[in-house]
Amino acid sequence: MYAIYGPSPVLVQPSSLNDYLNYQRWREEQAYLEEQRQYQLYRQMERQRQRQRMALAALEQHEKEQRRGKLQQQKYQQALDQRRLVNFLQQLHRQEQEKKIQQQRQEEVKRQKLIQQQMARQEQEKKIQQQMARQALARQLYWQQGDNEKEDTLDEWTDLVQSLVTKILQGDDDKDETMPTSAAVEPEQDSDDAEADDSLLVLTNDTRSTMGPMDDDEEEDSDDADETLLVLTDDAPATTAAAASEPMDEDEEDDSDADELLVALTDDTPTASMDDDKKKSKLETLDQIKQQLEKIHESHQKVLASSLYFNDQQQHHDTTTAADLVQVPTVSKNYEFLLYEDNIMRILLQLDNISSDGDETIRQQRKDLVKQAGLILDQLDHYKQAEWERHSSNSATSDDDDDDDDVSDESDAVINIAHSDPMSTSSNNNDSDNGDSDNDEDLQDSDLDDGDHDDDDMQDSDLDDNDALQDFDLVDDIDDNGFLILNL
């Protein structure tokens, strides 16, 4: 071995080769042991790091589990809160629905009560209107006829119609003010208006038979009054009350009074032309009504060839007095005659529902149809009067030859009435109507045979008086709609 002394190494020579080899082995062993220690230290550090990583992973997993649990808990709580809120809202909705249903039931009960009260009020008003119409009709039928009756007849009849229309319109206004604004009640107002129109129509038909035979001037006045009534019921209902309150000059002539009344009623009436479709529809309706009238007239003409049935209790001591009331019994034997009258009245009601709206064509056609229906009713009235006189003559003692002659004369009168055709008479009058007032001839003057006109006028006057009283007696046999009640 070499010893080192100073700056340069000193080599020390080993004592022997074995010592050197042992020394080398010792160094190798020491290096190996050192390497083993280093490796174990590395392994130990690696295991420690792994344990740290596992601890961190476990900690992260635990935190993740905690976060997941908290999230699920929050979701569950939110779902629970949402379900509770939905249940609460549903409960509120059900409560609101129940309240609405209860309110609707209460409103329905109140509405039914209001409807019942209004129906009772309308029934009472209808009875009052019918009573007023009957009283007015009774006053009209029992007018005292004097020397100046022909001059004042048109004025009194016009004033009566105006007063009735005024009362009806005032009743409708009072009813509109007190009526609740409900949709369920509105259709009944239309029915009241229709009943008022029916009352006017019944008044017109009953008043027609009280006028008796008229000359040409009086017929012109009657036509003017009919036109005034058409304006009252169709074209100017709002101006009727104002026109009825105006004083009428009693010293003027009947024709000028009717013209002034017609002008006063039509001053404020709108005169705008109707649409073509509306006019065409009304013309078609008038054509249908005309066909119905012709069909009814043709199908019931056989009624005038048969005899009417009267009860023996209806026999009076004198059939020519104006106090006698001729009433056709409502039995099966008189069914065709009563049905004929009822169908004609229905035609008049249909014509009353059609308004002209200022159109001259519609007004003229409707006026012609009303005139035709009136002629048919006049024919039926004369036939009924003749049948009553025949029944009275047959029931009385027939020992006298004079009575037999009277019966034969009455049979001839019945035959003449049965053969007369009001439809053809009206058609001929319409063809020759060019503004001349001679087209309104009396039906009896064209149907009866030639003879003494003064005697014929007296006989027609008696017939018309009996017809007027008979119509008043038949008021009890007319229903609320103005139709005859057939108790068969």
Q: How confident is the model at residue 132 (pLDDT cuts 50, 70, 90)?
A: confident
Identify the band that residue 405 occupies on the pLDDT scale cut at 50, 70 and 90.
low
185-200 confidence digits (pLDDT tens): 444 444 444 444 444 4
Q: Do 163 and 31 fall into the same domain?
A: no
Owner of token pair 């009526």: 179
Q: Using only C-alpha atoms, what is the Rg of the chain?
A: 56
Task: Please tell me whether residues 362 and 255 are part of one structural domain.
Answer: no
Which positions ≥6 away from 385 have C-beta within 8 Å?
Answer: 326, 463, 466, 467
Residue 391 has pLDDT above 90, yes or no: no
Same domain for 254 and 291, yes or no, is: no
Q: What is the DSSP letter of 484?
A: B
pLDDT, average across residues 261-286: 63
Amino acid 464: pLDDT: 42
> Per-residue DSSP letters for 320-379?
TSTT-------SGGGHHHHHHHHHHHHHHHHHHT---TT-HHHHHHHHHHHHHHHHHHHH
Domain end marker among 76, 106, 136: 106
Report d(CA 383, CA 391) in Å as an integer: 12
Q: Are residues 403 and 294 in the same domain?
A: yes
| Letter string b/e over residues 245-282, b meaning 16 or more CB atoms within 10 A of that residue's CB | eeeeeeeeebbebbeebbebbbeeeeeeebeeeebeeb
Dist CA 231 CA 229 (whole Å):
5
Contact 303, 337 (CB under 8 A): yes
Same domain, 380 and 241: no
Share of the chain above pLDDT 70, in %: 46
Mean pLDDT throughout 83-87?
94
Of 68, 90, 106, at which residue does a domain stop?
A: 106
Are 67 and 93 in a shared domain? yes
On whether both 209 and 288 belong to a single domain, the answer is no
Pick 117 or 391 by higher pLDDT. 117
Percent of all residues in the chain with a pLDDT value above 90, rounded to a whole number: 19
pLDDT at 399 over 90: no
Measured between alpha carbons, how far is 484 from 208 in angstroms, rounded to an integer?
17
Contact (Cβ atoms closer than 8 angstroms) between residue 329 and residue 309: yes
Q: Answer whether residue 93 is part of any domain.
A: yes
The C-alpha atoms of residue 20 and residue 16 are separated, in whole angstroms, by: 7
Nearby residues of 446 by Cβ (< 8 Å), 6 or more positions away? 420, 425
Report yes or no on whether pTM surpasses 0.85: no
Amino acid at 303: V
**Is 485 part of a structural domain of the chain?**
no
28-37, 320-329, 334-343, 389-398: which range is least confident on average? 320-329
How many Å separate Cα 457 from the centre of its chain? 47
- 305/360: higher pLDDT: 360
CA distance 347 to 294: 11
Per-residue confidence (pLDDT) for residue 11, from 0 to 100: 62
Instruction: Please give, one letter per residue, the 3-state secondary structure of 452-475.
Output: CHHHHHHHHHHHHHHHHHHHHHHH
146 lies in some domain: no
Contacts of residue 358, defined as CB under 8 A and 6 or more positions apart, other chains included, come to: 235, 269, 270, 271, 272, 273, 274
Alpha-carbon distance values, 203 to 116, 118, 161, 252, 376 (Å): 30, 26, 8, 26, 18
* Long-range residue pairs from 442-447, CB within 8 A, at least 24 positions apart, any chain: 442/213, 442/214, 442/219, 443/375, 443/378, 443/379, 444/213, 444/378, 444/382, 446/420, 447/379, 447/382, 447/416, 447/417, 447/420
CB 485 within 8 A of CB 329: no
Q: Give the pLDDT score at 459.
A: 43
On the question of pLDDT at 207 being above 50, the answer is: no
- The answer to whether residue 65 is domain-embedded is yes
Tell me, what's the pLDDT at 467? Answer: 41
Does a structural domain hold residue 297? yes
pLDDT in the model for residue 411: 47
Q: Are residues 257 and 324 in the same domain?
A: no
pLDDT-derived band at 232 (thresholds 50, 70, 90) equals very low
Based on the structure, what is the number of domains in the chain? 3
Residue 320 inside a domain? The answer is: yes
Do residue 227 and residue 311 come from a single domain?
no
Asked if 249 and 297 sit in the same domain, the reply is: no
Distance CA 485, CA 185 (A): 29
| Amino acid present at 412 | D
Q: Which of 95-104, 150-159, 267-276, 432-441 is the least confident region?
A: 432-441
Report pLDDT for 425: 53
Q: Does some domain include residue 277?
A: no
**pLDDT tens by residue, 323-341:** 345 667 677 777 888 888 8
Asked if residue 71 is part of any domain, the answer here is yes
What span, in angstroms and rounded, lies between the C-alpha atoms of 244 and 226? 16
pLDDT band at 374 (very low <50, low <70, confident <90, very high): confident
pLDDT of residue 394: 79
Say whether both 261 and 404 belong to one domain: no
What kind and span of H or E run contains 25? helix 17-141
What residue has token string 């009206």? 426
Mark which of 232, 266, 300 sits at the end of a domain.
266
pLDDT of residue 293: 87
Amino acid letter, 282: K
Whether residue 314 is found in the same domain as residue 246: no
The CB density around residue 358, as the number of other CB atoms within 10 Å, is 15
Whether the CB-CB separation of 222 and 229 falls below 8 Å is answered with no
Identify the domain containing residue 80 by its residue range: 18-106
